[in-house]
């Protein structure tokens, strides 16, 4: 039996929540049409926008003896832009902290899967794919997409 998306997303969520300053973490991609309602999903009790959502973009399989399934996970992050407090620098550092955590994640998770790029072994399992700024409604936010490859061995 293969590992379910919800199991992997829960592990990623727990790891993200262990990093100070990550804010609210959703174990799935939030689906809201109204930009104001969307950004409210990432506001903390002080009204500060800081949060992450997790999704899977693909799960290709390969056969090299055992069958391997390569979960292509995406973590999308948002932080309200505040130039006066150098939020751009803080967000960049937070992205680095997240990459460090997943690059150094334990080599194997019980259940036959690990944070490892089995599709491209020369790459680490975590890649900072995009950092930019975006408007969500009237809120200008820093935005990042971090990709994580998890390789599952299927016997």
Is pLDDT above 70 for 71? yes
Task: Please tell me the predicted confidence (pLDDT) of residue 137.
Answer: 80
Q: In whole angstroms, give the CA distance from residue 13 to residue 72.
A: 15
Is pLDDT above 80 for 110? no
Pick from 4-13, 56-65, 106-115: least confident: 106-115
List, for residues 118-150, the tens digit of each pLDDT value: 888 888 899 999 999 999 888 999 999 999 999
Which residue blocks in 18-121 are alpha helix, DSSP H? Answer: 35-40, 87-103
In the chain, the percentage of residues whose pLDDT exceeds 90 is 68
**Average pLDDT of 76-100?**
96
CB-based contact 29:76 (threshold 8 Å): yes
In the chain, the percentage of residues whose pLDDT exceeds 70 is 96
**Average pLDDT of 5-24?**
95
The H or E element spanning position 54 is: strand 50-58
Question: Which residues lie across from 98 on neighbouring strands?
Answer: none
94 falls in which pLDDT band (50, 70, 90)?
very high
Task: Please tell me the predicted confidence (pLDDT) of residue 111.
Answer: 66
Q: Residue 11 sits in which domain range?
A: 5-154
Number of helices and strands (H, E) in the chain? 3, 7
Q: How many domains, the chain?
A: 1
Is pLDDT above 70 for 109? no
Nearest to 97, CA basis, from 8, 19, 17:
19
Looking at residue 143, which CATH number applies to its domain?
3.30.2000.30
Q: In whole angstroms, give the CA distance from residue 107 to residue 13.
A: 18
Q: In whole angstroms, give the CA distance from residue 71 to residue 136.
A: 28
Average pLDDT, the chain: 91
Chain-centroid distance of CA 33 in Å reads 21
Q: In whole angstroms, give the CA distance from residue 15 to residue 25.
A: 10
43 falls in which pLDDT band (50, 70, 90)?
very high
Task: Please tell me the predicted confidence (pLDDT) of residue 92.
Answer: 98
């Amino acid at each position: 039996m293969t590992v379910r998306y919800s199991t992997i997303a829960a592990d990623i969520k727990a790891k993200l929540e262990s990093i100070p300053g990550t804010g609210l973490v959703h174990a799935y991609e939030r689906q809201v049409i109204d930009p104001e309602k969307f950004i409210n999903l990432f506001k903390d009790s002080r009204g500060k926008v800081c949060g992450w959502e997790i999704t899977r973009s693909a799960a290709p399989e390969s056969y090299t003896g055992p069958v391997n399934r390569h979960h292509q996970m995406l973590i999308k992050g948002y932080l309200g832009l505040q130039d006066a407090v150098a939020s751009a620098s803080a967000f960049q550092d937070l992205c680095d902290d997240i990459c460090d955590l997943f690059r150094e994640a334990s080599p194997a998770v019980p259940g036959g899967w690990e944070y490892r790029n089995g599709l491209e072994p020369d790459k680490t399992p975590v890649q900072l794919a995009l950092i930019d700024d975006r408007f969500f409604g009237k809120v200008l936010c820093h935005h990042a997409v971090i990709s994580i490859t998890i390789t599952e061995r299927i016997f």
